[in-house]
A and B are shown apart, each in its own frame.
Chain A
């Protein structure tokens, strides 16, 4: 009987702890997946709500000027930064992907530089877009410059089909 008790104690100390940790780990991962999927689903439920964050930008922030407005070097640098940090979610040609909406649509292309800068800086955390203030301010403006350079008829035609990216 004592041997059985000792065996149960040993299981309690080692076995159950490890099984518990494993189940807990799986649960955490499953929860993370479910939360992320819900966020994406909510974000893409309808096209209008996808871009709702643009309407929430404070008036003062909308009016900010892009210091790299007509800087061709900034377009190239912004393109490089976009590829490094944004393309995974928004598609290589910014036409949208599973995780992020198209940035070629009118809502984005017609937005002021200040509006886009604010959204980039603050993210849309509740819908899965992280904050990007870790990029220095000039780099964020370079990305905005690149995004606005995409505003051409040929690029806009791709926005209707995100699968093209």
Chain B
């Protein structure tokens, strides 16, 4: 019915709108909303997990320039659920539009994060394990791995989507918060599940700080404490045969998050390629909202205790 109301060319032209609409219409009933204090990072992870029983729905978009091919807009939706105070699980659905080419679904990811220590320490480790089932046209660039370079993405979608990747990705999320500053370092190891493929390495580092450390007494949209600014840097580190900073891509990206009292978080990031192997520009934005008590809501639907 909806497809009849919205014309087909419209759907073809703006498939990412459907992605957004689906994301935010799926789960808007029943759960209460919670004001989140989200970090501004888009690639780097700090050690903070989702609150237990809460679901965070996030939509992200990455516009990337492409030399030797068409620019693209990759987008993904994340459903992040806080299982316990030490475990968060998350599903991603990703797609992309390559201009003057096509729009395609590029796969899904399922990640889990486990807090390793119960209390806060100078450095807080969190174990990250992710399974990826994507095709070669995946351009969300959530991380740069191994020898990933810009030219890998220059082919048409029809060619790229023929490649299927089943990967296991592991990260050690090391993060520290001091005097309002958060510093995070993520060493990354990836293995394509085909035996012939090599282990690949990558990194992401970030630093951020709220613009004000003290809250103002009144609710306000533009208070300085609602903004968190920072910078992140990420790139590949080669693979088991040839490791290092060469023959791969690296990015530096100023980032900012705006945590609104109306429960929304807006993130912006402009990533600049640091070498000739990198896309010149990766413009990213994200929108997220947290739903508290989601676990209880679903439990009630299946006859659980109120």
Residues of A within 8 A of B (CB): 21, 25, 28-29, 31-33, 35-36, 39, 73, 76-78, 80-81, 84-85, 88, 98-99, 121-131, 133-139, 142
Contacts and interface: CB of A to CB of B under 8 A. Distances in A.
A78 B180 CA distance: 17
Interface residues of B, number: 46
B181 to A, nearest CB: 9
Contacts of B85: 39, 123-131
Nearest to B210: A136
Given A29-B298, A32-B295, A130-B85, A77 B120 contact: no
Interface string B191-228: 00000000000000000001001111111000001000
B83 A35 contact: yes
Contacts, number: 112
Contacts of B35: 84-85
B37 A135 contact: yes
Contacts of A36: 52-53, 83-84, 295
Given A73-B217, A81-B215, A134-B48, A32 B37 contact: no
B138 interface: no
Contacts of A85: 34-35, 37
Contact of B34 (A32, A88, A136): A88
Interface of B: 32, 34-35, 37, 39, 46, 48-49, 51-53, 81-87, 89, 91, 110, 115, 118-120, 177, 179-180, 182, 210, 213-219, 225, 261, 292-293, 295-296, 298-299, 304
B91 A25 contact: yes
A49 B304 CA distance: 25
14 contacts: A36-B53, A80-B219, A88-B34, A122-B118, A123-B120, A126-B86, A127-B85, A130-B49, A134-B46, A135-B37, A136-B213, A136-B225, A138-B213, A138-B214
